[in-house]
């Protein structure tokens, strides 16, 4: 099956690339970083005017009414440009949560404001270091009031609307909170990528309302993270692709012993490693985009595959970019650290890569409705000599997690 983009989607991709090349070059990203400003509000409003913030939002709420393939195209170009704006938090998480889990009234109240760029949204999930788990949720919703703490909220320093996980009467739920409202204390935190701020929040009887369309909160949250993982993976692929291109350009122009350093086998092999990782990630991303747009049951496995491979590709491309630029690659004046910062940031936004690897294993096991290969073709004595299913699963889990790290 061909998972590629149509001619129209490729034209959109080129248009987005040209806009970001003119409006958000790497020099602009660096100026924001050096000035301590982090993100670019002007760029945010311009992308809102172009309809990017509401790509998949129906027109009745002010959106463009397009599909997830178009959003994936935009996501890749945003990642390629290292665009300094809270796109993933507000679009992939907050907007998506309200679009899929909000009541008609909640959609009407919040989606137009998110689409227009009037407010920025984010997801507040973690309460301690490590991958979030339903048992870790200590934030409580009682009688429309929220009490608890959230840490490492991505883009939390600039967000005005929080989608917050909490314990309600029937287990985990998601609630809408005005982050500038009463009962909310915000504390900025340091981020490895200052173009994406981080903050912690303390809620003390803060007014909150549950997402009306969410019944099984944790199940809905898992689905939300899966969908966001596919779109963020496209950003990572875009960043990895640009890092590889810049590295190739430099090594072709840099001479040693009378010839381009790119002609040396050691560098060529390392760039091939990056290219292979990038193409694997791109294939998984296209699979994920197809599963997302078609609403197939493959989205859970496709999301994990895209997340794992894209994180690895971007991390490898950014690290090799620093190394292959030699001493200059490690200087503040070079752009290499911008890609390295974004690669490390993106790898942790939705949970660590090794946690996604473990999640992938568990999901594949659940999908395995049949016995392990060969179980029906051997005698009981032969099967007794074979490692147990649990031990095989443990080894597979450990292997994937180690690879992801």
Which pair of tokens denotes residue 151?
């840490």
Instruction: With cut-offs at 50, 70 and 90, classify the pLDDT of residue 386.
Output: very low
CA atoms within 13 A on the CB side of 133: 8
Closest CA to 102 of 88, 87, 113, 116: 113
Reported as type and span, the H/E element at residue 18 is helix 7-23
> In this structure, are residues 139 and 128 in contact, taking their beta carbons and an 8 Å threshold?
no
Residues of the chain within CATH 2.40.110.10 domain(s) are 122-215
Instruction: With cut-offs at 50, 70 and 90, classify the pLDDT of residue 372.
Output: low
Q: What is the pLDDT of residues 115-151, one digit of tens each?
A: 999 999 999 999 988 777 777 788 999 999 999 999 9
**3-class SS of residue 230:** helix
Residues of the chain within CATH 1.10.540.10 domain(s) are 7-120
Cβ-Cβ contacts under 8 Å for 100 (sequence gap 6 or more): 213, 220, 223, 224
Average pLDDT over residues 7-19: 95
Q: For residue 205, which phi and psi values (nearest 5 degrees)?
A: 55, 40
The fraction of the chain above a pLDDT of 90, given in percent, is 70
Average pLDDT over residues 296-306: 95
Q: What is the pLDDT of residues 224-272, one digit of tens each?
A: 999 999 999 999 999 999 999 999 998 888 888 888 887 887 888 999 9
User: Torsion angle, CA of 129/224/310/151, rounded to 10 degrees?
Assistant: -20
Q: Measure the CA–CA gap between 236 and 346, rounded to whole angstroms.
A: 7
Q: Which position has the higher pLDDT, 137 or 372?
A: 137
The fraction of the chain above a pLDDT of 70, given in percent, is 90
Instruction: With cut-offs at 50, 70 and 90, classify the pLDDT of residue 2.
Output: low
Angle made by CA atoms 204, 93, 193, in degrees to the nearest 5: 85
What pLDDT is recorded for position 36?
A: 81
CATH number 3.40.440.10 is the correct assignment for the domain at 7-120: no
The CATH code belonging to domain 219-350 is 1.20.140.10
One of 1.20.1280.290, 2.40.110.10, 1.10.10.10, 3.40.50.280 is the CATH number of 122-215, namely 2.40.110.10
Closest CA to 247 of 311, 319, 325, 313: 325
Across 257-261, 296-300, 305-309, 360-364, the highest mean pLDDT is recorded for: 305-309
Q: Measure the CA–CA gap between 368 and 364, rounded to whole angstroms.
A: 6
Number of Cβ within 10 Å of residue 67's Cβ equals 15
Indicate if the pLDDT at residue 387 is higher than 80: no
Number of Cβ within 10 Å of residue 93's Cβ equals 27
Residues of the chain within CATH 1.20.140.10 domain(s) are 219-350
Which pair of tokens denotes residue 10?
């490729």
Q: What is the pLDDT of residues 205-237, one digit of tens each?
A: 999 999 987 767 889 999 999 999 999 999 999
Radius of gyration of the chain measured on its C-alpha atoms: 22
**3-class SS of residue 335:** coil
């Amino acid at each position: 099956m061909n998972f590629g983009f149509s001619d129209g989607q490729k034209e959109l991709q080129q248009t987005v690339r040209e806009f970001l090349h003119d409006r958000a070059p790497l020099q602009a990203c660096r100026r924001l970083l050096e000035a301590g400003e982090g993100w670019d509000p002007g760029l945010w409003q311009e992308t809102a005017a172009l309809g990017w913030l509401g790509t998949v939002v129906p027109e009745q709420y002010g959106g463009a009414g397009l599909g997830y393939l178009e959003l994936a195209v935009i996501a890749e170009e945003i990642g390629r440009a290292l665009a300094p704006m809270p796109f993933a938090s507000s679009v992939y998480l907050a907007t998506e949560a309200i679009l899929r889990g909000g009541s008609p009234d909640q959609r009407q109240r919040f989606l137009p404001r998110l689409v227009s760029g009037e407010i920025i949204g984010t997801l507040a999930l973690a309460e301690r270091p490590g991958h979030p788990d339903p048992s870790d949720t200590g934030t409580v919703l009682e009688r429309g009031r929220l009490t608890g703490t959230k840490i490492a909220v991505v883009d939390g320093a600039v967000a005005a609307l929080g989608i917050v996980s909490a314990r309600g009467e029937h287990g985990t739920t998601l609630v809408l909170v005005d982050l500038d409202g009463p009962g909310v204390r915000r504390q900025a935190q340091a981020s490895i990528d200052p173009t994406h701020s981080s903050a912690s929040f303390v809620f003390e009887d803060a007014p909150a309302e549950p997402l009306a369309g969410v019944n099984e909160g944790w199940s809905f949250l898992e689905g939300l993270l899966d969908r966001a993982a596919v779109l963020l993976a496209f950003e990572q692929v875009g960043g990895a692709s640009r890092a590889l291109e810049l590295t190739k350009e430099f090594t072709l122009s840099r001479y040693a012993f009378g010839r381009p350093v790119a002609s040396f086998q050691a560098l060529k092999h390392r760039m091939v490693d990056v290219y292979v990782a990038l193409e694997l990630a791109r294939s998984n991303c296209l699979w994920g985009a197809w599963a997302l747009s078609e609403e197939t049951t493959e989205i859970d496995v496709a999301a994990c595959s895209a997340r794992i491979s894209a994180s690895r590709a971007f991390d490898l491309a950014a690290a090799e970019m620093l190394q292959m630029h030699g001493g200059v690659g490690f200087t503040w004046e070079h752009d290499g650290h911008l890609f390295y910062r974004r690669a490390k940031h993106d790898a942790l936004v939705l949970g660590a890569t090794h946690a996604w690897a473990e999640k992938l294993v568990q999901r594949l096991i659940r999908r395995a409705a049949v016995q392990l290969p060969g179980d029906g073709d051997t005698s009981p004595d032969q099967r007794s000599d074979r490692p147990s299913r649990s031990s095989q699963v443990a080894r597979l889990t450990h292997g994937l997690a180690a690879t992801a790290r």
